[in-house]
């Protein structure tokens, strides 16, 4: 389970390495077809697990951010709300954009 940014980066690196392995295994001309199929299934399973963990971590970060936003918004004056909301919406859009490749 991913618990911080460092672990997220490690998982993203692992994911990239697994995708390279998958490509190599799929295109290896001399490999036995049954062995290739088994190897690819294992690699796909590992890729799927890492992608799932990344999604869980990113959704948890968004949930925490939303809770923080709710707490902060209660302390604002009415005239501060529009600019504050615009800033927070941009931050949420950036987080969503960062998640897009993994989804």
Determine the pLDDT at residue 73. 78
95 vs 11, more confident: 11
3-class state of residue 100 by DSSP: coil
- pLDDT on residue 11: 96
The secondary structure of 18-38 as a DSSP string is: HHHHHHHHHT-TTS-HHHHHH
User: How does pLDDT run across 3-57, given as a tens digit for each residue?
Assistant: 998 999 999 999 999 999 999 999 988 888 899 999 999 999 999 999 999 988 8
- List pLDDT tens digits, range 54-93: 988 888 887 877 778 778 778 888 888 888 888 878 877 8
Look at the alpha carbons of 39, 40, 46, 49 in this order and tell me if their dihedral is positive or negative.
Answer: negative
Residue with tokens 């697994």: 18
- Compare 103 and 95 and report the one with higher pLDDT: 95
Where exactly are the structural domains of the chain?
5-99
Whole-number pLDDT of residue 103 = 47
pLDDT of 61: 83
């Amino acid at each position: 389970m991913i618990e911080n940014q460092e672990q997220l980066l490690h998982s993203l690196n692992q994911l990239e390495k697994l995708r390279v392995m998958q490509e190599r295994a799929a295109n290896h001309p001399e490999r036995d077809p049954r062995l290739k199929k088994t190897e690819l299934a294992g690699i796909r399973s590992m890729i799927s697990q890492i992608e799932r963990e990344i999604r869980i971590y990113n959704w948890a970060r968004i949930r925490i951010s939303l809770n923080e936003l709710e707490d902060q918004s209660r302390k604002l004056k009415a005239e501060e709300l529009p600019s504050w909301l615009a800033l927070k919406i941009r931050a949420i859009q950036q987080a969503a954009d960062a998640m897009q490749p993994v989804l």
